[in-house]
Amino acid sequence: MLRSLLTNPMALPVVFPLLAGLVCLLLPNAASRLRVWLAALAAIVVLAFVWPLFQQAGQTWNPLPWLTLRTDLLSVFILLGVAFFGLVVAVYSVGYMKDRPHQRAYFTYLLWTLGISCGVVLANDLLILLVCWGFLALILYLMAGLSGPGAAEAARKSLMIIGGSDALMLLGILIYWHLAGTTRMDGAALALDGPLAYMAFLTLLAGAFAKAGAVPFHSWVPSFGEKVDAPVSAFLPASLDKLLGIYLLTRLVLDLFIPTPGMYGMLMLLGAVTVIAAVLMALVQHDLKRLLSFHAVSQVGYMILGIGTGTAIGLAGGLFHMLNNTVYKSALFLGAGMVEKQTGTTDLDRLGGLAKLMPVTFIVCTIAALSISGIPPLNGFASKWMIYQGIISSGDNGSFAWVLWLAVAMLGSALTLASFVKVLHATFLCKPSVEIRQMEISEKKGSMLLPMIVLALLCVVFGVYAFQVPLGFLIFPVVAVTVPGVWWSGLATVLILLAVIVGIGLYWLTMRGGKLRRMRTYIGGEQMQDVYLSNDEPGPLRHVEVTGVDFYDTIEQVPGLHRYYALMKDRVFDIYEFLKRSADYFVQMLRALHTGILPSYLRWFVAGLLLVVWVVTMEGR
Amino acid sequence: MIYSLCLLLILIGLYGVIVSRQTLKIVVSLLIMNHGVHLMLLLVGYRKNGSPPIVDPGTTIADFAAGAVDPLPQAMVLTSIVIGLGVLALMVALCVRLYERYGTFDVTEIRRLRG
């Protein structure tokens, strides 16, 4: 048994990172550089272990009656993603973690997370999956806590929401066991034919939603992303948790249950709400990492929309979008980490002008931002297009709800673009702030740049060769799809390039010859306030600084949205705050009972005793 | 019927424990409860017109079992009375300590458990 743990190809991706993490833990602090490179090497080895599994899906390993591992086409796809993003983050961390505290714990947790995530994907038993799931939540909590005291509250919130959903999942698994007679996942799918089956489905769904960060279990993601170090955010909420959450969701609708049309409708509704609610919040954020986290929530909505269509093309689109999202969202978070490492802040009001100072980061972030906004020919467009097709073909059964979902999805995409225009402008393009100008900034860190460049290249490759590379190798083996209309990205790309060229041409034509008027600066139809005028250049016409966030603040005052933002400020939709308030309520009730007068406690005892006696005598009769 | 007397004693003690605010009164009430229980145990072993449970040299075991009251509850109650004495001493000592600590015998003024 023990030897097979170390030799079986299916056990190795789980056991090896755990052991490597242990080695990282035991290495003395003097060998910290060795540890860093060891972690990166271990991530490469994990990828090497996963690769043969990927090539030969459909294996099972059953060493003990309760321990079964199995790979199928879906799980090897997710497994490859987990190993790949583990490697990306490990390499990035080599540069990022230099001169930072807690390296020993950080790399240990990184490798353990990698191994346990492989365990989640390989598990063929819901109980084993849940155990790994629980350990992941614990390590997520510990890893978030490494980012300093500011992250403690965010870590606690994440642990409460994910841990609470674990308890729900346990309930769901027990009900599933009761109904299906097994917790193995390769059995027959369960029909949703009664309240118990619905309850099992919904509780397991809650686990998947909490992990992936979808409404109503989303509120840990923004807090986590804002406070916790960027590579951790890129690793956990942006890539691994998406992969695992959507993996569970796909398993639920494909293998474990046969969802009813009503359930599919609910999934699409939640997906649409997730898209629009999160992107509206992202629009008005002032912190780069918090803004990105809201997009991490918003993009989950597309995946759920795609999977919720119940059509093959929608499902393939949802999975493809999950893959694409992990690619570009990781790239954005890693870019944000680079910005934070160089400037010490992610506050959009205090950044600016980084395009010249950090050209590679700028290009990577631009590609990723265009990709997340769904600009052809990048990968975000390819998968969103498939999801749109899925939504349209979900209307084949005669209902017209698809029009609404499609409108919401497209609006969400447009708002995503709007908020990324703000990000790119405020971080990279506008005039640098005084603080930035006084800093020595250089981005010469190969280990940090390499993962970002690879991810940006993947954005382009997955978009341009969508059907040849990612869909052909990864997605279509999982979901057999006959694509209704193959979209050819050539024409749109040419049109977009043409528009850009025309724009540049117009700019040159009108700006030539210095026909300029100097006006008070307007932005979005509003006069700039003096707050945003920087004071470093004295003189009558002071240098005007457009931070790019000013315009978006007015969105909060739009009549219809005003109420929404007010409610969000009160955290009405935050399930964590809701639970905290109800817990407080019960605590207050119990406090009122605790008078501290001992005879009154005794009265409660006697009353309870009499009740017990009464129940027992009634029982005997 | 006689058992209801025991119940009455126990209930009187319970009432005293619940209602009284003085620690010493609670102790006395507990003693009353204690004696109610003892009395009940003795009555369980009682036999009407029974002989004392003493084995004389002449009596056989069969005669003894047919005529004597049950000695077991008596032995137990005797033990319990002694233990009760020890518990009483402990309770009184605690009352004295409470008085030294808080300066009162009134339990409603000792509210360290308040939530």
Give A518-574 pLDDT, tens digit per residue.
Answer: 666 666 666 665 544 444 544 434 445 555 666 677 777 777 788 888 887 777 778
Q: How many CB pairs under 8 A join A and B?
A: 33
Residue with tokens 């459909």: A58
A525 with A588, same domain: the answer is no
Instruction: Answer whether A598 sits within 8 Å of B112, measured CB to CB.
Output: no
A181 with A308, same domain: the answer is no
Q: What is the pLDDT of residue A529?
A: 57
Lowest mean pLDDT among A167-171, A268-272, A569-573: A569-573
Where residue A432 falls among pLDDT bands split at 50, 70, 90?
confident
Q: How far is B17 from chain A (nearest CA, A)?
A: 8
Instruction: Answer whether A599 sits within 8 Å of B110, measured CB to CB.
Output: no
As for how many domains chain A has, the answer is 5
Instruction: Answer whether A597 sits within 8 Å of B14, measured CB to CB.
Output: no
A178 with A240, same domain: the answer is yes
Lowest mean pLDDT among A70-84, A196-210, A259-273, A434-448: A434-448
Q: What is the pLDDT of residue A174?
A: 94
Q: What is the pLDDT of residue A16?
A: 93
B67 has a pLDDT exceeding 70: yes
Q: What is the pLDDT of residue B47?
A: 84
Instruction: Answer whether B111 sits within 8 Å of A597, measured CB to CB.
Output: yes
Strand A67-70 with A522-523, pairing: unpaired
Any CB–CB contact under 8 A between A598 and chain B? Answer: yes
Q: What is the pLDDT of residue B111?
A: 76
Q: Is residue A356 part of a domain?
A: yes
Instruction: Answer whether B115 sits within 8 Å of A598, measured CB to CB.
Output: no
Asked which of A211, A226, A258 is the last residue of a domain, the reply is A258
Q: What is the pLDDT of residue A507?
A: 83
Instruction: Answer whether A602 sits within 8 Å of B17, measured CB to CB.
Output: yes
Instruction: Answer whether B18 sits within 8 Å of A606, measured CB to CB.
Output: yes
Helix A446-464 to helix A359-372 angle (10° resolution) is: 30
A311 with A449, same domain: the answer is yes
Could you confirm whether domain B3-47+60-109 is CATH 1.10.287.3510?
yes
Average pLDDT of B77-97?
95
For B20, name the nearest residue in chain A, comparing CA atoms only: A599
Give, in degrees to the nearest 5, the angle at Cα B84 between B82 and B90: 115
Average pLDDT of A56-61?
85
* Contact residues on chain B for A606, CB-CB shorter than 8 A: 14, 18
Q: Is residue A129 part of a domain?
A: no
Q: Is residue A584 part of a domain?
A: yes
Q: What percent of chain A has pLDDT over 90?
A: 41
Average pLDDT of A371-398?
86
DSSP A274-326: HHHHHHHHHHT--BHHHHHHHHHHHHHHHHHHHHHT-SHHHHHHHHHHHHHHH
Contact B42, B9 (CB under 8 A): no
Q: What percent of chain A has pLDDT over 70?
A: 91
Q: Is residue A560 part of a domain?
A: yes
Average pLDDT, chain A: 86
Q: How far apart are CA A214 and CA B46, in angstroms?
A: 74
Q: Name residues whose C-beta falls within 8 Å of residue A64's C-beta, 6 or more positions apart in sequence.
A: A1
Q: Is residue A592 part of a domain?
A: yes
Highest mean pLDDT among A56-70, A185-199, A357-371, A462-476: A357-371
Q: What is the pLDDT of residue A185?
A: 86
A184 has a pLDDT exceeding 50: yes
A94 with A207, same domain: the answer is no
A213 with A101, same domain: the answer is no
Q: Is residue A51 part of a domain?
A: yes
SS3 category, B70: coil
A544 beta partners? A533
Q: What is the pLDDT of residue A526?
A: 67
Residue of A602, A478, A485 lying closest to A73 (CA atoms): A478
A1 with A78, same domain: the answer is yes
Q: What percent of chain B has pLDDT over 90?
A: 49
Q: What is the pLDDT of residue A431?
A: 75
Query: What is the enclosing helix (H) or strand (E) of A418?
Result: helix A401-424
Asked which of A485, A516, A535 is the last residue of a domain, the reply is A485
Q: What is the pLDDT of residue A532?
A: 47
Q: How buried is residue A621: exposed, middle or buried, by Cβ count under 10 Å (0-12/13-18/19+)?
A: exposed
Nearest to A603 among B18, B110, B114 (CB): B18
Q: How far is B115 from chain A (nearest CA, A)?
A: 5
Average pLDDT of A349-372?
89
Q: Where are the beta strands (DSSP E) in A400-539?
A: 522-523, 526-527
A480 with A331, same domain: the answer is yes
Give the pTM: 0.80
Q: Is residue A321 part of a domain?
A: yes
Q: What is the pLDDT of residue A597?
A: 80
Q: What is the pLDDT of residue A488?
A: 62
* Contact residues on chain A for B12, CB-CB shorter than 8 A: none
A300 with A347, same domain: the answer is yes
A23 vs B108, more confident: A23
A501 beta partners? none
Q: Is residue A132 part of a domain?
A: no
Any CB–CB contact under 8 A between A595 and chain B? Answer: yes
Distances (CA, A) of A553 to A246, A301, A565: 33, 24, 11
DSSP A99-113: T-S-HHHHHHHHHHH
Residues of B with CB under 8 A from a CB of A: 14, 17-21, 107-108, 110-115
Q: How buried is residue A26: exposed, middle or buried, by Cβ count under 10 Å (0-12/13-18/19+)?
A: exposed
Average pLDDT of A319-342?
92
Alpha helices in A12-151 (DSSP H): 12-26, 32-55, 73-96, 103-122, 126-145
Q: What is the pLDDT of residue A514?
A: 62
Residue of A267, A283, A234 lying closest to A568 (CA atoms): A283
Name the CA dihedral angle for B46, B48, B54, B60, rounded to a multiple of 10 degrees. -120
Residues A123-158: tens digit of each pLDDT: 999 999 999 999 999 999 999 988 888 888 899 999
A468 has a pLDDT exceeding 50: yes
A509 with A585, same domain: the answer is no
Where residue A476 falls among pLDDT bands split at 50, 70, 90?
confident
Average pLDDT of A361-370?
93
- What was the ipTM of the complex prediction? 0.75
Lowest mean pLDDT among A194-198, A249-253, B44-48, B79-83: B44-48
Average pLDDT of A446-464?
90
Where residue A250 falls among pLDDT bands split at 50, 70, 90?
very high
Q: What is the pLDDT of residue A539?
A: 42
- What is the span of the domain harbouring residue A422? 266-485
Nearest to A594 among B108, B110, B115 (CB): B115
Residues A561-614: tens digit of each pLDDT: 888 888 877 777 788 888 888 889 999 988 888 887 878 888 889 899 999 999
Q: How far apart are CA A134 and CA A116, in angstroms?
A: 10
A172 with A105, same domain: the answer is no
Q: What is the pLDDT of residue A538?
A: 45
Instruction: Answer whether B114 sits within 8 Å of A603, measured CB to CB.
Output: no
Instruction: Answer whether B18 sits within 8 Å of A595, measured CB to CB.
Output: no
A244 with A277, same domain: the answer is no
